[in-house]
Amino acid sequence: MPPAPLTRLRKLCLALPESYEQEAWGTPTFRVRKGKIVAMYAAAGTHAGAGRHGVWINTVPANQEVMLRAKPSRFFYPPYVGKGGWIGVVLDAKTDWKELAGLLHDGWALSAPKKLVALESGRPPRGR
């Protein structure tokens, strides 16, 4: 039996540099230094999950639009944060966990301090 969606999601999120988990609004959120949210788990039985397991990930509005058009069965517009460009990803037996890892990394890069992103990418921080 494969690991539960939250277990797999947690492993991916906590592998991101300086990330940690914090419960908020009754659900696990995954954050980076200074508390900025990268992703939020949406359990099927909660209002956030609306009957399916999912994750909400920080992204830019242009990427959100492309993903919603390309795979409407895999991606969804999450309540509350969708207007900020966030994307919802369904977590089920068809989840592409490598793709999800990439989306989480992109969300992390949007939320993390710029110096940390530069260090992680091997580039010198800007302004030096």
Over the stretch 55-81, which tens digit does the pLDDT of each residue have? Answer: 999 999 899 999 999 999 999 999 889
HEC per residue, 19-88: EEEEEECCEEEEEEHHHEEEEEEECCCCCCCCCCCEEEECCCHHHHHHHHHHCCCCEECCCCCHHHCCEE
Q: Residue 128: what pLDDT?
A: 42
- At position 70, the amino acid (one-letter code) is A
Using the predicted structure, report yes or no on whether residue 2 has a pLDDT greater than 80.
no
- Give 27-49 pLDDT, tens digit per residue: 999 999 888 999 999 988 877 77
pTM over 0.85: yes
- For 75, the token pair is 């991606």
Set out the domains of the chain in order of their start, with CATH numbers: 5-107 (3.90.1150.30)
